Structure 1
Amino acid sequence: MSVTVPPSGFDRELDATLALAFEKASALYRARGFQRRIGFGSRPALINVDLANAWTRPGNPFTCEGVDDRIIPGVQGLLAACRRNGHPVVHVTTCYQVTDRSNPLTDMGLWHDKIPIEVVAQSNPEIWAIDSRIEPIEGEQVLIKKRASAFHGTYLAGFLRAAGVDTILVTGVTASACVRETLCDGLADGFRTIAVKECIGDRVAGAVAWNLFDIDAKFADVESVERCVAYLDDVGHVPIAAE
């Protein structure tokens, strides 16, 4: 399957170069037994990673591309499917209590030495609130994380296991960091991992296409919104086999 989904505005020459690289890499991977299918399970949950204002609205250091025209509409479709079928939904965001970079007791750890995470201060809830276009409803979890992965140091795995979940559909930003780390840790924790390709974004040209290609080879199945919505609607009735 093709997992190259460059957001609007990406350079055509870069897209063509990546497509050629993926074609050659796919041949190598297939010959060595990579790109297997993990498939959908019987009890899904939707995990939306960092689809909060600091990432989805313009004018912030973390602002990502493709949010308005691609990610938000896709997530809205997934949310509707989850809500009409009673599937668990977890909205993940990131914020910090102590954003003084000189304070050794900050909950930012050392991450602030690489990126400007002090921007998402817990004292400014508007910036780390979930985007109102995909606002959580009663019964949906809002999980605050401190690191890239939604699993690292959080209750997510325990919550999912208690709910009987065996499959996670992951959306959000960024493909190269928090989404990727969440998928890797989700697989490591024993969940079937599905990356919803139209609903994953980043800030850097080529980052989405490259990471989805690599994720699909090693850590998750990259599937379309259409297929994921069909699965969410049908999972309680007719299982959908992996292709």
Structure 2
Amino acid sequence: MTTALNDKLAQAFAEATRLYKERGLRRVGFGKKPALINVDLANAWTRPGNPFTCENIDEQIIPGVQQLLAACRENGHPVVHVTTCYQVTDRSNPHNDMGLWHNKIPIDVVDQANEELWAIDSRIAPIPGEQLLIKKRASAFHGTYLAGFLRAAGVDTILVTGVTASACVRTTLCDGLAEGFRTIGVRECIGDRVPGAVEWNLFDIDAKFADVEPLTRCLDYLATVKG
């Protein structure tokens, strides 16, 4: 986006934030037991040349997630790597594993038979003890064991990164709040494909469904609580 458009968005968001505060919207805050949820930071989204490829991956999102991973691993916080793939990619087959989402997105680019597509980016790959969760819908909670896993681990706060701001990250944060977790979106570690989508969605998410916090504050938090 142009600088002028960014400036206009910043002004509009500042005014809207003031209005929201006047009407009683507030912060959810950090809890006592965090987990990191990385959403769809797999090759189909992070590497060039795929219809799902997102912006700002190499220069911003991956380096930020690397710092979060280091903080979680050092302090014993759970980490969940979430990816998406499908067993049936034939749109004419009614017995598929994605409902009717295949009518909207090119599911063949995340064919489960091609693990390289949906494998977590090697720069932020899981280590032993970290969860690798495959989802079939936008939200990492929808139809998965994520909420049960987090509750069993005593987690009360989720820090969410990944792509996209307008879809899978957004729905994960919304569902996380509905499931009873304090929801934190890590600003520098969330991306999308479309200019403006990140700015708008993070503003709207911060107003209604989560606290969108800078990477530095999230790192400080992870360092002050122990797993």
Q: TM-score, normalised by structure 2?
A: 0.98
2:172 corresponding residue in structure 1: 182
1:109 partner amino acid: G
1:1-243 equivalences under 5 Å are: 10-34=1-25, 36-236=26-226
Residue 169 of structure 2 aligns to a residue in which SS?
helix
Deviations 1:15-50 (A, max 9, x none): 12211211221122111112x111111110000000
CA distance in 2, matches of 1:236, 1:82: 9
Percent of aligned positions that are identical: 78
Superposed CA deviations along residues 172-218 of structure 1, whole A, max 9, x for unmatched, are 00000000000000000000000000000000011101111111111
* Partner SS for 2:201: helix
Find the aligned partners of 1:100 and 1:108 in 2 and give their Cα distance. 11
**After the TM superposition, which segments of 4 or more aligned residues of structure 1 sit over 6 Å from their partners?**
none
Cα distance in structure 2, aligned partners of 1:185 and 1:73 = 26
Deviation at 1:233, TM superposition (A): 0.9
What is the deviation of 1:119?
Answer: 1.3
Distance 2:81 2:15 in 1: 37
TM-score by length of 1: 0.92
Can you give the 5+ residue segments of structure 2 that lack an aligned partner in the other structure? Answer: none
Q: Which moved more, 1:94-103 or 1:115-124?
A: 115-124
Q: Secondary structure at the match of 1:184?
A: helix
| Deviation of the 1:14 alpha carbon | 2.0
Cα distance in 2 between the residues matched to 1:66 and 1:52 = 14
Deviations along 1:128-176, one digit per CA (max 9) or x if unpaired, are: 0000000100000000000000000000000000000000000000000
Is the CA contact 2:75–2:225 (under 8 Å) kept in the aligned structure 1?
no
Distance in 1 separating the partners of 2:3 and 2:140: 33
Alignment RMSD (CA, Å):
1.0
Q: Secondary structure at the match of 2:161?
A: strand
1:112, 1:118 within 8 Å by CA — same for their partners in 2?
no
The 2-side partners of 1:165 and 1:117 are apart by 33
